[in-house]
């Protein structure tokens, strides 16, 4: 029997490549915007609108990818390698089919989808071209996200970082060639950027497949792809659907929050955007530590090491809070310089500086939320995370954003205090769930020696 390779796991070793990879993705979006700004403001706006639809569709692929990676992590811990091949093959095939469906919908209904934004004719034309090309390439993204998460689950996070870095470099080079017409390439602007994106994603797909086959040693057969069983799919969806609902709930709440802050005026909206851009690096660190923790704890739970998994979750959260506080403190010390990179408006800088100081209250709560949320997913307890997220965000946070910011007139400061409360309430609820150890009954792998239920 051929077994897949698994690296020895430690939190920092697993996490730092995920952190760098996430920063590379953020840098790519920034580079795209900067290079397109040399074409026209209209080009930036067109791609920005199309990308909102692309990113929403991308979130939909997460439910199969996340579910598959969590199940694979537990089966790796249990050393059930034959099942790992089947889960991997099933996950890739299902997301391929789903990707083809989503890509078809985007291409066929591109006019109707973009019609929701009421764009000017010139903007509409450019956005539609970009949406059709990059939307069609979502089939590559569907398989990429699945393969990437499975490779990471085996501990090969550096490999996914290298592939993502290569994809970004190819994309930027392609953008340069098509935007500036270098080396005899046609000067195609927005269509050129879309083609560059699609090509880089296709090459990344090939690279991920090679890493999966040769580095991870997952040599999948045709039978591994098509042998889809109800029980196997049920386990994947039990993690994937609640996880996706959690992401969609949070993303939707941010759109509503933006609409509420818009009522305070352009200055306050710009202040929020600039402040979040500065705090983005701390948030990415928390997300990366959460993902690293999820991989390690998934392995431990699969191996039936519940006590070790519990202690690991507590330690990982403490590390996350410590590192986030160090990074936030550094940002606070140079807050005015950082905000000055985005704007010269003294009022925005003054308000943004206050919000960054408040980040010292925000980030510990966010770390509780991100790390314990990821560890509960790893344990198979994704449904509880979804319920907490939806109830707290929509029954407390969103109404309070309006009440504190608009009704009581406390403005952006009031909204930020609610933002802090939201992270802490959800974080404490998840911490309490982890401490209760109810999640032990949610394990997806059965152990004959233990009374562990299948989810």
Three-state SS for 66-123 is: HHHHHHHHHHHHCCCHHHHHHHHHHHHHHHHHHHHHHHHHHHHCHHHHHHCCCCCHHH
> What does the pLDDT read at residue 370?
92
Question: In whole angstroms, what is the distance from residue 190 CA to residue 175 CA?
Answer: 9
Whether residue 208 is predicted with pLDDT greater than 90 in this model: the reply is yes
* Residue 227 pLDDT grade (very low, low, confident, very high; cuts 50, 70, 90): confident
Question: In whole angstroms, what is the distance from residue 192 CA to residue 186 CA?
Answer: 8
Question: In whole angstroms, what is the distance from residue 221 CA to residue 182 CA?
Answer: 43
Higher pLDDT, 453 or 22: 22
Whether residue 319 is predicted with pLDDT greater than 50 in this model: the reply is yes
For residues 334-348, average pLDDT: 84
* Residue 425 pLDDT grade (very low, low, confident, very high; cuts 50, 70, 90): very high
- Weakest mean pLDDT among 183-187, 191-195, 287-291: 183-187
- Residues 96-154 have pLDDT tens digits of 999 999 899 989 988 888 776 666 777 788 888 888 998 889 899 899 999 999 999 99
Question: In whole angstroms, what is the distance from residue 442 CA to residue 262 CA?
Answer: 42
Whose tokens are 């150890």? That residue is 437
Question: In whole angstroms, what is the distance from residue 65 CA to residue 146 CA?
Answer: 4
- Residues 249-297 have pLDDT tens digits of 887 888 788 788 888 887 787 788 788 878 888 888 888 999 899 999 9
Whether residue 298 is predicted with pLDDT greater than 70 in this model: the reply is yes
Question: In whole angstroms, what is the distance from residue 291 CA to residue 17 CA?
Answer: 11
The answer to whether 65 and 239 have CB atoms below 8 angstroms apart is no
* Residue 453 pLDDT grade (very low, low, confident, very high; cuts 50, 70, 90): very low
- Weakest mean pLDDT among 43-52, 88-97, 146-155, 245-254: 43-52
- Mean pLDDT across the chain, nearest whole number? 86
Whether residue 403 is predicted with pLDDT greater than 60 in this model: the reply is yes
Q: Which two tokens stand for residue 129?
A: 């071209």
> What does the pLDDT read at residue 268?
84
- Residues 435-447 have pLDDT tens digits of 999 999 988 876 6
Whether residue 450 is predicted with pLDDT greater than 50 in this model: the reply is no
Cα–Cα–Cα angle for 35, 41, 43, rounded to 5 degrees: 65
CA atoms lying within 13 Å on the CB side of residue 10: 2
Delimit the domains of the chain by residue range. 11-228, 241-442
Whether residue 451 is predicted with pLDDT greater than 50 in this model: the reply is no
pLDDT over 70 percentage in the chain: 90
> What does the pLDDT read at residue 272?
82
Cα–Cα–Cα angle for 358, 326, 396, rounded to 5 degrees: 35
pTM of the model: 0.82
Q: Which two tokens stand for residue 137?
A: 């390439």
């Amino acid at each position: 029997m051929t077994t897949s390779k698994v690296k020895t796991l430690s939190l920092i070793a697993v996490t730092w490549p995920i952190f760098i990879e996430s920063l590379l993705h953020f840098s790519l979006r920034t580079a795209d915007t900067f290079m397109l700004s040399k074409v026209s403001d209209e080009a930036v706006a067109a791609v920005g609108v199309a990308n909102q639809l692309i990113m929403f569709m991308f979130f939909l692929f997460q439910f199969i990818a996340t579910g598959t990676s969590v199940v694979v992590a537990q089966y790796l811990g249990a050393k059930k390698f034959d099942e790992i091949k089947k889960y991997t093959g099933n996950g890739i095939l299902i997301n391929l089919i789903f990707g083809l469906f989503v890509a078809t919908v985007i291409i066929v209904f591109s006019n109707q989808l973009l019609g929701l934004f009421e764009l000017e004719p010139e903007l509409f034309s450019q956005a539609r071209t970009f949406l059709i090309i990059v939307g069609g390439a979502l089939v590559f993204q569907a398989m990429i996200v699945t393969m990437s998460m499975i490779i990471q689950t085996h501990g090969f996070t550096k490999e996914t970082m290298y592939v993502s870095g290569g994809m970004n470099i190819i994309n930027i080079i392609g953008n340069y060639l098509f935007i500036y017409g270098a080396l005899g390439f046609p000067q195609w602007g927005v269509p050129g950027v879309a083609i560059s994106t699609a090509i880089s994603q296709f090459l990344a797909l090939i690279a991920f497949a090679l890493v999966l086959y040769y580095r991870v040693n997952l040599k999948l057969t045709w039978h591994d792809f098509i042998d889809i069983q109800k029980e196997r799919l049920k386990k994947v969806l039990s993690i994937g659907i609640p996880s996706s609902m959690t992401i969609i709930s949070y993303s939707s709440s941010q759109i509503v929050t933006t609409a509420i802050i818009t009522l305070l005026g352009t200055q306050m909206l710009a202040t929020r955007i600039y402040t979040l851009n500065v705090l983005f690096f701390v948030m990415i660190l928390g997300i990366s530590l959460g993902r690293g923790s999820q991989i390690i704890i998934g392995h431990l739970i699969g191996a039936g090491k519940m006590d070790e998994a519990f202690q690991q979750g507590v330690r990982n959260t403490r590390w996350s809070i410590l590192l986030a506080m160090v990074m936030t403190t550094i940002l606070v010390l140079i807050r005015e310089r950082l905000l000055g990179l985005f704007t010269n408006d003294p009022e925005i800088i003054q308000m943004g500086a206050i919000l960054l100081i408040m980040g010292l209250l925000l980030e510990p709560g966010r770390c509780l939320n991100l790390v314990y949320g990821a560890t509960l997913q790893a344990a198979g307890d994704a449904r509880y995370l979804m319920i907490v997220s939806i109830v707290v965000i929509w029954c407390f946070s969103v109404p309070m954003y309006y009440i504190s910011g608009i009704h009581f007139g406390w403005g952006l400061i009031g909204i930020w205090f609610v933002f802090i409360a939201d992270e802490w309430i959800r974080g404490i609820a998840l911490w309490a769930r982890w401490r209760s150890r109810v999640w032990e009954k949610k394990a997806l792998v059965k152990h004959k020696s233990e009374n562990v239920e299948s989810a």
